[in-house]
Structure 1
Amino acid sequence: MKEHIDVVWKGSTAIFGAFFGFVFGGWSQLLQVLMYASIIDYTSGMAAAGVNGELKSKIGWRGIFKKIMMFALIALAAQVDMLFKEQGLNLEVFGLQASLQEAFIMFYLGNELLSIIENAGRLGLPLPSFVADAVEILNGKYKKKEQKGEVE
């Protein structure tokens, strides 16, 4: 029985790895950092909501679906990168080789880091004043865009 479980586990892991390798074009350090940041963001957001009496399952599910969509867009960007490469097209920015997938990952990583800092503040964790000020400024710009209908 133990051998059967071991074979199933190894087979499942291999299939899972092959699927992610194909969909994301490989597993990079940048993608790994984004995955960790996403997990920390979600758990710290749930913790902050729980501590502040704002915990709602609907909001939690929305967060999960946003993360799924984020990774789906990153996978799509990886596929576009592979298509460009297959067609002999090079994506260059300022004369440097660029990757659409890496651009998406860096954008979402910045967003996740900002959210983690906000969650830390909501949990009562002291933040350096320059960090709190930067978050406040960035949130103000985001809220203005949101009011204009430019964001989400």
Structure 2
Amino acid sequence: MVRWEVFAVKSILALVTGFTVYISGVINEATVILVFFMFLDFISGMLRGWLTKSLNSTIGLAGLIKKFAVIVILAMTAGLEYFFMHMGQDTGGLIILTVSSFFIVNEGLSILENCAQLGLPIPPILYNSLEKLNRDPSGKEQAIIRDPLLDKIDKAVLLKEVKQNQVEIASQELKKEEDQKGDDV
């Protein structure tokens, strides 16, 4: 699947979800559901990172920044909704509902992807679809690649080596200070 096809599938799912939620009379709840899905996606991403030993604060911060950007887009959409209402056009909350639905679908796919990488049983048809979504148009994987050397490093041994190096550096500095005091006398 090329990128525009993935975007088209997400958009269609967002429109269907938005229309269904609109018909059922749930308007503001879509934003609450989106925030809840964002929370679940963040937690499942942290669990995936911890389990695959690829937990990275930079990637986590980038994810949080993206989630904040989604909230900014929702605020902008709410502003547009407000503008249309004051112009006499009753949208019935359909604009913000559609945008929220798009991001709900996006977060849901991300949660499903994280759960699949955690090893949870995912139906084969969904798993194959997720594999296709994780490829860029040239067919290359977009998965996070972890340096294999990091798996071989024992953190406890590494911490002991760092502590030992700190003790050696402190003793060398103390020796330099004593030598300087001896030269001054």
- Normalising to structure 2: TM-score of the pair? 0.56
Give the drift of 1:77.
0.1
**Bigger Rg, which one:** 2
Aligned AA (2:72): A
Q: Which residue of 1 aligns with 2:77?
A: 77
Q: Structure 1: which 5+ residue stretches go unaligned?
A: 1-26, 92-96, 148-152
1:126 and 2:101 are equivalent in the alignment: no
Aligned AA (1:41): D
Give the drift of 1:89.
3.0
Deviations 1:42-70 (A, max 9, x none): 11011101110111101111111111110
Q: Distance in 1 between matches of 2:110 and 2:129?
A: 12
Q: Which residue of 2 aligns with 1:136?
A: 131
Query: In the comparison of the two structures, how many residue pairs are matched?
Result: 113
State, as a whole percentage, how many aligned pairs show the same letter: 28
* Bigger RCO of structures 1 and 2 (CA < 8 A, at least 6 apart): 2
Alignment partner of 1:100: what SS? helix
Q: Structure 2: which 5+ residue stretches go unaligned?
A: 1-26, 141-185
Alignment partner of 2:99: what SS? helix
Give the drift of 1:99.
2.2
Q: Which residue of 1 aligns with 2:109?
A: 114
Within-5 A mapping of 1:1-152: 28-90=28-90, 99-140=94-135, 143-144=136-137
- Normalising to structure 1: TM-score of the pair? 0.68
Q: Distance in 2 between matches of 1:104 and 1:69?
A: 13
Q: Distance in 2 between matches of 1:104 and 1:144?
A: 25
Alignment partner of 1:144: what SS? coil
Q: Distance in 1 between matches of 2:34 and 2:128?
A: 24
